[in-house]
Each structure stands twice: as structure tokens, then as C-alpha cells.
Chain A
Amino acid sequence: MTHPLADSMESTVTQQTEPAVPAPVPVVEMRGISIGFPGVKALDGVDFRMFPGEVHSLMGENGAGKSTLIKALTGVYGIDAGTITLAGERVSFAGPAQAQAAGISTVYQEVNLLPNLSVAENIMLGREPRRFGGIDWRAMRRRSAELLAGLHLDIDPGSLLGDHSLAVQQLVAIARAIDVNAKVLILDEPTSSLDADEVAELFRVIRSLKDQGVAILFVSHFLDQVYEICDRLTVLRNGTLVGEYLVDELLRIDLVQKMIGKELTALDDLEHRAHASVVDESDAATFVSASKLGRRGAIEPADLPIAVGEVVGLAGLLGSGRTELARLFGGIDRADTGELTIHGENVKLRTPRQAISKRIAFSSENRRDEGIVGELTVRDNIVLALQADRGWFRPIPKKKQDELAQSYIQALNIRPGNPDALVRNLSGGNQQKVLLARWLAIAPRLLILDEPTRGIDIGAKAEIQKLVFNLAENGMSVLFISAELEEVLRLSHRVVVLRDRNVVADLENDGLTVDSLLALIADGRVASDDEALDERAPAVAVVAVGSGDGPAASAPSTPSTEGDRS
């Protein structure tokens, strides 16, 4: 497969074909890269290049080979075949340190810094300025302060890194990366835990680095962000190159199709269907209701009723209290004020176990630390909560476990479809599905989904959204949290907006738009009537009641397990 632009762009230094547009020389050029792992070909003859002063995005579903390609470039993996050229020179890195020394810096999704050291120490770690055989602390502080100032980051270099927000830590990681005199800066999912302002801040930094001629590889699942910041993108699918495109010349819908390699209808379906079945007032029996439920330092006392079969979306920034409130419903944290009633009866949820016995399932946003049990198999992970609820002495028969696992693997399209695979080895989206299967297996009456679609590919995302929709139609209540407001609006019957640990609005999802939600999240007030009216017009397009084709036809049917789910 060749680049679409290969003819004009494939230029050596001596051979510049179009003088009008000075064809830039790629700073990174990877050709025919192949990497195999036992049993899989992770990359198969992939070409990839980056130009100085450009932001490049690597797009593809989970498992497309993005991380493998990055790791090949950064020297983490050796390559089986192919060549890597950096600034015109053939290179072969034996390890990440060599790649870094050659000017390729990486900032990973999970910040790889030391929270119990100071900001300055983190920035200069491993290359501290020396003086008289010891560390020159003053120079170190000065240098870090310069770097931070370069990023317009106003923090004390002497403060502990762990005291800062994740966003600031991310920027510190970038400060560290650019101090290494980077020619190439790789940002792997840098925005997945940042809020809108922080993203804007990050983008400002990216643009200024770009102006300095740094080639930046920006990997993100957020299409909006890719289209906002990137100049060029490379699409991978199943370890092979699909193509390289200029962002301006590629429509989003085309991009998505190239990524997943099939017509994307799932999301469109939902757009049209959403809210077709907003719960009737009459049969909207309240399932669970919180009154003045709160926890010091986490969420101010809040009221929140959730009806049977209702999807309630929680919208708000990180730290607004959206996760904190949901955790109280799931018994993950204990409320210290207020009360919770289920069908009018007062209940106390002190542990997740108690919540589960009330058929309330909480699926954490922190999939790795609070969700999956990595070294256990897919089957074990799926039956875990159901088994815990039954107690250790009443094991689910092996045959039943296999049936359960198999049915969820099929219903949720978990890949690989091997119940004996270790969950650790699955991609993020599939891990999320396993987690969902675990909770669906207990036949919950309230399913709390905290960021269920974060960091997973667009196909899995659509499947999960569809699933939520169908579950609610079947009478399950859902508390849905997502940083993506479009998603919240698409799925929710009601949207509750949080801001600074307070519930600031509780709205029927009728004519709501992303803009009106943003206004609430930003200012904590409903947009004025005029604005609201203005926004209602385009909103209709989103909320429009669909064509009425049966959702059951294409939707994944959830296998019923024991317990009622009428």
C-alpha cells in the first residue's frame, strides 16, 4: 500500500520535485515496519512518517497497532523487518533511552512521574545539573522554572508533583519531554483525563511547540480534538496501513469508515432513535431516590431520584462531583449525610456488596485499578460479582459459568471470544465489555456506568451505547456518566448537571443541547430564554424521533441470567 501523497512527498534531500511548495523532509520515516508477537502479527509492513512543525495523528481502533508502532518508534520494541530513519539517518534503537537521546520523547497516557518528588526533580530527573560533584539545586529550579514558564504553567517548581491535578502533572511530563531537546514529541492519549479548559491549555502548548519545529504525534480517541489540532493523520487497521491523509481533506465520516473498515450505522441509528421512548410519566415508578445524600469533601448533599427504566446522565467536569455522587449510589463510598431509598424503603449502602445485594451495580471509570482483575480469565471476570453475591460455598457450576461467559461474549461481541483468555491481554474496549458483562450477569436494577466509553474505540463505543439504550428499554435504570456531552445527550432521558460538588440542574432531556449544557457546567445557570430558544432549533435535529425501526433487530440482545429483568 502506498501513501496517497507518496508521489509528491517521497523526496530525498537532493530531489525536490515541486519548488513552489518546498517539500519538507520528514523528520521520521518508518518503512515496511513489521512486528510479530507469538500468535499475532501486530504490524505488517507499515509505513509512517512525520514532518517537522506538524501535528500528526495516528488513528485506528484498539488493536489496530497504534501502540505497537509508537513502541517501535520509541525503541521499546525491536522491529522484525523494516527501517526507521530519523532526520535522514538510519537508526535502530536498542531501548527507549537511546530513542530519547536521539530526540524522540514520549508522554504516556498514564503519567509516568514520581508523585512524591518535587516538580523540578521530576522535570530534571536523570539529568540533574551538577556542581562540585553534587546536584546544583538552584540551577535545577531555575531551569525547571524556565521550562514551566515556557508552557505558561504557573506552579512552584519546588512543590510536590502529587499535590497537583492530573492535568498539571501531564504538562509537567511535557515540560520534562521537551527539555530533552525533542525533535519528535509523542503524546499518547494526553487528553483522556483532562477537562475542556485543560485541553485548550494543552493545545496552546502543542501549537507553540509546533511553531518551534517540533514534530508532534498526537494520539487520541477524541475526533474533535484530532480535527482541531492535527495537520495530518495516518490510519491503521489490524496492523496494516490504510493510508496517510491531510486532516483538512478527509471528512470525519470517511475517517471513521477507514478506521473500522465497515459502514458505520450504529451511531446514526441511535441518533434517530434516542428519546423515542422517554419514560411515560404514568409508569415512571421511582426505583431509587437520594435525598440530601452527601459526603464531606466529595459531594454536597444532593437529591436525585431515578425512575425504573430511566437513563439519567450526569454531566459536569472532572471533580464536579459526578463520580463522587455515583459512588454513593454504588456503595463504593459511604455517605455521611442524607438517605437513600429503594422503592420508598430506606436503605444504607455501606459496601459495594450491600449495593449488589440490592441489585445496584457500579462500573468504575478506573477500569484498570477498580474494574478488571487482569490475571484472571474472561470467564472468571464475568462471573466474579455474581459468584461473590452467591458466596464462596455455592459455586456456580462450571457448565453454567461457560454458558454465561459464552453468551456474554457473543452478545457484547467480546474479542477474542475465548473465555480462557486473560483479561489483561484484551484491548481496552473489550475489557470494558467484560466489565459490563460482569455487571449484567447480576441482573442489576440500577446500572451505574462511570465513563464506560472512555479510551475505547468507536465501534465498541457504539455497541456499548446501544446496549445502554436497550437495557433501559427493558426496565433497567441507568446512571450514566460521560465527559462527552454528546453521548450524555444521546442516551439520557434526564440530565443532571454538577458543578463544584453541587447539583446545579436536573433537566428533562427535551431540547437540551451541548451548548446549553456547557453553559450550565461553566456558569451553573440555565441559559437565558433567548439563548435557549435559539438553541432549540438545531436541537430538534439531534432529538428528532427516529424512524421507528425496531431496536431489537440490530441491537445486541442481552442474555438473561437468573433474577428478574422484566
Chain B
Amino acid sequence: MSALAKMASNRLFWPVVMLLVLFAINLVAFPGFFEITVRDGQLFGSLIDILRNGAPTLIIAVGMTLVIATRGIDLSVGAVAAISGAVACSIILGSPAPGSLATVAVAITVALLISLVLGVWNGFLVAALGIQPIIATLILMTAGRGVAMLITEGQILTVNSPPFKFLGSGFWFGIPVAVIIAAVVFGLAALITRRTALGMFIESVGINPEASRQAGVRARGLLFAVYTFCALCAAIAGLILTANTAAADANNTGLFIELDAILAVVIGGTSLAGGRYSLLGTLVGALVIQTLVTTVYTVGIPPIATMVFKAAVVTIVCLLQSPTTAEALSGFRRRLAVRSGKGVAAS
């Protein structure tokens, strides 16, 4: 096998190629694409924007990766993001000192704790009651927006709290805070699942639940943990999104973000059928999605065509990754080799 073929067989190959192609397109349309400047000790540039705007999707996609690896899916992440934003904003608004660090700390803590409860709820439906994950999380997906609406009382809660806004648009050591948070979530998830046996158990349960049970793996606890972690990720993303706009909008915060997160996971090469997962792939997937959005602007595709463009790119990536395509390609290659090789009569 040639070096190139070996690289191509890596499941990260096509997503990375895709990302590079998108970068190239951007570079042609906008020669300053790779430029990163330092202004007031803060980094600016298209790449930084991609990282910062992609951070919420990446954070959710990390949780989603683990859920999908167990053969599950979590559709409720957008709703959970909305709830956590609503909770945080309403606490900050209700506090006498919205700008104080303590208020924001309480708001964030409560929002995250509530997300843990929501995650346990999903875990309960899936692991204890055995409801199919897509149905189980559909419940919270629809009900969650309603809950968020109740918390905001149907209003868009606008907060004026510098410490809270810092989460979404602040910089720390010159790097956007959202990016740092995403990096921490990503790093922790990778560390916890790959440095312990958790990752292996997650994959094992996703591949063959009954064999895993018979081998003594506690699938139920595992599912609880994974759905709870995913909800926690969603809440963190929700806080960043809300802080970025300084407003909690029950209807629109994190709308359709579950689809972007699932896409990121799939583009990253983790199969929706569960099993082997790649957090690194998810990272690339999230970057591809965010770069795509940026590309739409830099290339000047009219906004009405954005969704179609996105769909086209995603279709291409999925096609390149599908086993059917791979088989067809290798069959084609083999036929070529046979024909050019010994000249064996084929028909």
C-alpha cells in the first residue's frame, strides 16, 4: 500500500482534506484569510473567528460523540442550551448586583446543575426505561424549549453583566474565552475517556451491548454518565451563546445546534451505529462546519443559498466516507489493476 493510500484509509483523511479545501477557497476569495493580528493584546483574524464561533458547536459535539458511541443520540442539546441560558440570565436579572462576579458565578453554577438534572432525566429514559434514545431525547427537545420559555416568561432576557459577557466575547491571554473553554472540555473528555477504561467501555457497549453486559460492563451507569455529560456540554455551550449576545432567547438560543453537532460527529468519522469514536475527528468536523459558514460569507454566496451549499458539502463528505463508496472505489481500482496487469480475460 502506498503512503497516500495508507493515509486515505485513515478516517480523518477526508475530513481534513475537506477542511484544507475550504481553507484554500477562502484564501482565494480573501487573501488575508490566514492573517492573525494582535490588537490590544488580543488575537484577531478569520481563523480566530472560526475557532470562537465554532466553540459552542464543538463543545456540544464532544458530548454528542460519546452519546453516539454508545449507539445513542441526544436531540435535546439545543433545548438544554436554551434552558441553561435562560436560567443564568434570569438569575442575573433577578439579582441586585448583575455585574458582580459572585452573581455570575451563582448563575453559572445553578445553570450547570440544572443541566445535570436534565441529563440524568435523559439517562433515566434511555438506560432505566430502555426507551430508544431518539425518542427519549425528543421529549426534552420539544419540552425543553417550553421550559425555557416559562423561565424567561416569554421574553428575551437581555442582561448587562460584564463578567457574564466575558464568557462569550472576552479574551484571556489574548485568546477568546470561548475557545479556551472548548479546549478544556475537549481535553478533559479526551483525557477522561482515553486515560481510563471509560472509552473502551463506551465503545464496547455501543458495539455489542449484550456481550458487554456478559463481560461485566455496567452499561446502565455508563449511559447515565454519558447523557449527563452531554447535557453538561450543552449547558456550557448555551451559556457561551447567551453571553455572546448578552440575551437569553428561549426560542432561538441553540436552535438546530443538535444537527450541527451530530454532523460534526459524523463528518469526524464516528459512525451513527455506535462503537469506535474519534474526538479528534469531531474537532475536525466542527471546524469544517464552522469554516463552511465563514466560507459562505467570504465567497459571497447569497444567504438564501447558504443551506443548499452546506448540504452539498456535507453530502460530499458523507459520500467520501461511506463504505459503499469505498468499496466501489476499491473495486474500480482492482479492476483497473487486473486489466492492466496480466490481461486476464475478464468476461
- Which residues of A are in contact with B by a Cβ distance under 8 Å? 38, 78, 80-81, 83, 92, 330, 332, 351-353, 356-357, 362, 364, 369-376, 380, 384-385, 387-396, 438
Contact = CB atoms under 8 A, between A and B. Distances in A.
Given A353-B218, A389-B216, A384 B204 contact: yes
Interface string B328-347: 00110011001000101111
Contacts of A370: 208, 210-211, 214
B224 interface: no
Nearest to A439: B215
Contacts of A380: 200, 203-204
Given A385-B216, A388-B216, 12 more contacts: A78-B335, A80-B344, A356-B215, A356-B216, A362-B214, A369-B211, A370-B210, A380-B204, A387-B200, A389-B216, A393-B196, A395-B196
Nearest to B194: A395
Contact of B195 (A92, A369, A371, A395): A395
B207 A373 contact: yes
Contacts of A38: 1, 330
The 9 A-B pairs of least Cβ separation, nearest first, read: A388-B216, A353-B216, A385-B215, A356-B216, A388-B217, A392-B197, A395-B197, A392-B198, A375-B275
B201 interface: yes
Interface in B118-155: none
A308 to B, nearest CB: 23
A385 B212 CA distance: 8
Given A384-B215, A385-B215, A396 B197 contact: yes
Contacts of B165: none
Contacts of B1: 38
Given A370-B211, A373-B207, A396-B197, A80 B338 contact: yes
A217 B304 CA distance: 61
B52 interface: no
Contacts of B347: 92
Contact of A388 (B201, B334, B346): B201
A370 B342 CA distance: 45
5 contacts: A353-B216, A353-B218, A373-B215, A390-B197, A438-B215
Contact of A375 (B198, B207, B216): B207
Interface in B178-225: 195-198, 200-201, 203-204, 207-208, 210-218
Contacts of A395: 195-197
A372 B200 contact: no
Contact of A372 (B197, B198, B211, B342): B211
A78 B346 CA distance: 10
Given A352-B213, A376-B200, A388-B215, A81 B207 contact: no
Nearest to B206: A375
A389 B212 CA distance: 12
A103 to B, nearest CB: 20
B26 to A, nearest CB: 36
B196 A392 contact: yes
Task: Please tell me the size bucket of the interface on B.
Answer: 20 to 34
A80 B334 contact: yes
A387 B197 contact: yes
Contacts of A92: 346-347
B197 A352 contact: no
A375 B278 CA distance: 14
Given A352-B216, A369-B211, A376 B197 contact: no
Interface in B258-314: 275-276
A548 to B, nearest CB: 39
Contacts of B198: 392
Contacts of A78: 331, 335
A357 B216 CA distance: 9
Contacts of A83: 345
A365 to B, nearest CB: 12
Nearest to B274: A375
B116 to A, nearest CB: 19
Given A376-B203, A392-B196, A384 B217 contact: yes
B344 A373 contact: no
Contacts of B207: 373-376
B279 to A, nearest CB: 17
B312 to A, nearest CB: 30
Nearest to A78: B331
A222 to B, nearest CB: 26
A321 B231 CA distance: 45
A357 B211 CA distance: 17
Contact of A371 (B196, B211, B342, B346): B211
A369 B208 contact: yes
Nearest to A362: B214
Nearest to A332: B214
A330 B208 CA distance: 18
B208 A373 contact: yes
Contacts of A390: 197
Nearest to B346: A92
Contacts of B275: 375
Nearest to A367: B211
Contacts of A391: 197
B215 A352 contact: yes
A376 B204 contact: yes
Interface string B41-77: 0000000000000000000000000000000000000
A399 to B, nearest CB: 14
A241 to B, nearest CB: 19
A388 to B, nearest CB: 4
Contacts of A371: 211, 214
A105 B2 CA distance: 39
B211, B214, B218: most-surrounded residue (chain A CB, <10 A): B214
A80 to B, nearest CB: 6
Nearest to A424: B207
Nearest to A80: B338
A459 B88 CA distance: 66
A425 to B, nearest CB: 14
Nearest to B342: A81
B331 A384 contact: no
A45 to B, nearest CB: 12
B269 to A, nearest CB: 13
Contacts of A369: 208, 210-211
A392 B198 CA distance: 5
A372 B195 contact: no
Contact of A373 (B196, B211, B216, B345): B211
A352 B214 contact: yes
A244 B308 CA distance: 61
Contacts of B211: 364, 369-373
A83, A92, A373, A395: most-surrounded residue (chain B CB, <10 A): A373
A57 B153 CA distance: 76
Contacts of A389: 216
B89 to A, nearest CB: 36
A38, A330, A371, A392: most-surrounded residue (chain B CB, <10 A): A392
Contacts of B200: 376, 380, 384, 387
A373 B197 contact: no
Nearest to A34: B344
Given A38-B1, A392-B198, A374 B208 contact: yes
B210 to A, nearest CB: 5
A353 B347 CA distance: 56
Nearest to B334: A80
Given A38-B1, A81-B342, A388-B201, A375 B276 contact: yes
